[in-house]
Amino acid sequence: MTTEVTLDELGRTTLARQLLLARADGAVAEVVGAVGGLQAQHPDMPATALWARRTGRTSDLRDALADREVVRATVMRSTLHVVPAARWADLDAVSAAERLATWRASARRAGVDLVELNAEVRELCRATARTVDQIEAFAAERYPGVDVTAAVPDGVSRPWWRLASAGGGLVRVPPSSTGEADVPASYADGATWCEVTERPDVDAARVRAVVGYLRAFGPATRADIGHGLGIRRATPLKAALTGIGVRVLGGPGGAELLDLPDGEVVPADVPVPVRFLPRWEHLLVALKDRRRFLDDAGASAVYRRNGDVLPTFWADGRVAGTWSVVRSDEGAEIRLTAIGPAAAERREAIEAEAASLATHLGTGTAGTSVRWS
């Protein structure tokens, strides 16, 4: 008989795996790995995501990046994430397979060998980190006379970078990966940076990536898994799931949920603390179906038409509102916008956590105020 999971059980189970029921005290790489990586389009985002999940200093993430314990790289969904250095090679291999498939037609029109070009770029970045401008100049010189803009879809920016990096293998390195300095993004050969002696078999890497996803976000549907990891093709995803031997659960609305055989379901009545999460929070991007955390009305307030995902605060296991910080000469103001009744019911706890957020962000509690809109 299939075990049935309610919406509240599903939400609390995912929050427990995301370390949002209680902050962890493990090493940065351990925590980052447990939650499936941290979204990192902007260097401030992963620091706030980690603060919500881990005790310790705000500078710990910067130190872990400098010490190569974690890396910032384009992996899941072809998007920048912070991931453990020990797991980078698997995630890179899975992402590269998808990106090569995406850009193959453009490369054919341009007369570019994607695999060969990527290998040459990785060699270029082996001894010295290179900026995107330098990588694009190298690729254009390697293929003189090619109008790469005409070969890619309309509106695509940085076309030589897209083709040159499609095969993966690069990581963004300090100081551009940590936000310490306003410098151009610089990339190094990931195998050298992470001390990887051999690129993994992509099929085996995909199995390990799916296991990591379910440990961080499960239980989840097939669509969730494919969306979260950026695996758009059904055949390789099916093969990875077959290799794991997943457990099948019944979800809300008759959904078929997949989980690891040892995955535990958290009861619906487990208390959930207030948490503040950053813009583009991985938890709100890595699931195709987000109803375990917010309804359609809430989603319209969080997901913008331009594709942006606003910073959120959570109460009772669901998104309760959005937040922003406005700085001035007098200090800083944390502005809160409620979504649903939970914000009013947990107002005091939300304002207390907002004060902790102010300390994390370095605004200073003395000059920080909280305002509801």
**Does residue 179 have a pLDDT over 80?**
no
The mean pLDDT value for 330-349 works out to: 89
Whether 220 and 287 have beta carbons less than 8 Å apart is answered as yes
Alpha helices in 201-346 (DSSP H): 202-217, 222-229, 234-244, 296-302, 342-345
* pTM, to two decimals: 0.95
Is 206 domain-assigned? no
Q: Are residues 47 and 177 in the same domain?
A: yes
Per-residue pLDDT tens over the stretch 34-82:
999 999 988 789 999 999 999 999 899 999 999 999 999 999 999 999 9
Give the pLDDT band of residue 305 (cuts 50, 70, 90).
confident
- Say if 4 falls within a structural domain: no
Which of 193, 216, 236 is the last residue before a domain boundary?
Answer: 193
Same domain? For 188 and 45 the reply is yes
Length of the chain: 373
Q: Is residue 277 part of a domain?
A: no
CA 32 to the chain's CA centroid: 10
If asked whether residues 182 and 318 sit together in one domain, one would say no
Q: State the chain's mean pLDDT as an integer.
A: 94
Residue 134: both structure tokens together: 């330098």
User: Final residue of a domain: which of 193, 221, 237?
Assistant: 193
Q: Give the C-alpha separation, 125 to 228, whole Å.
A: 29
Place of tokens 């103001």: 333
Q: Examine the domain organization and report whether 183 and 322 are in the same domain.
A: no
Q: Report which DSSP code applies to 282.
A: G
| pLDDT in the model for residue 16 | 98
Domain that holds residue 344: 311-372
Instruction: Show the tokens assigned to 235.
Output: 């055949």
- Asked whether residue 131 is assigned to any structural domain, the reply reads yes
The answer to whether residues 189 and 338 belong to one domain is: no
Q: Rounded distance, CA 171 to CA 158, Å?
A: 17
Q: How many domains does the chain have?
A: 2
User: How does pLDDT run across 111-127, given as a tens digit for each residue?
Assistant: 999 999 999 999 999 99
Mean pLDDT of 304-325: 94
pLDDT surpassing 90 at residue 143 = yes
Q: Which of residues 138, 163, 193 is at a domain's end?
A: 193
Are 30 and 160 within one domain? yes
| DSSP secondary structure string for all residues of 100-132 | HHHHHHHHHHHT--HHHHHHHHHHHHHHS-EEH
Residue 359 lies in a domain: yes
Confirm whether 235 is domain-assigned: no
| Average pLDDT estimate for 153-162 | 96
Q: In degrees, to the nearest 5, what angle opens at C-alpha 261 toward C-alphas 265 and 71?
A: 85
In a domain, 222, yes or no: no
Whether residue 253 lies inside any domain: the answer is: no
* DSSP reduced 3-state for 314: strand
Structure tokens that stand for 291 in this block = 């109803």
Q: Is 202 exposed, middle or buried (0-12, 13-18, 19+ CB in 10 A)?
A: middle
Residue 232 has pLDDT above 60, yes or no: yes
Confidence of residue 365 (pLDDT cuts 50, 70, 90): low
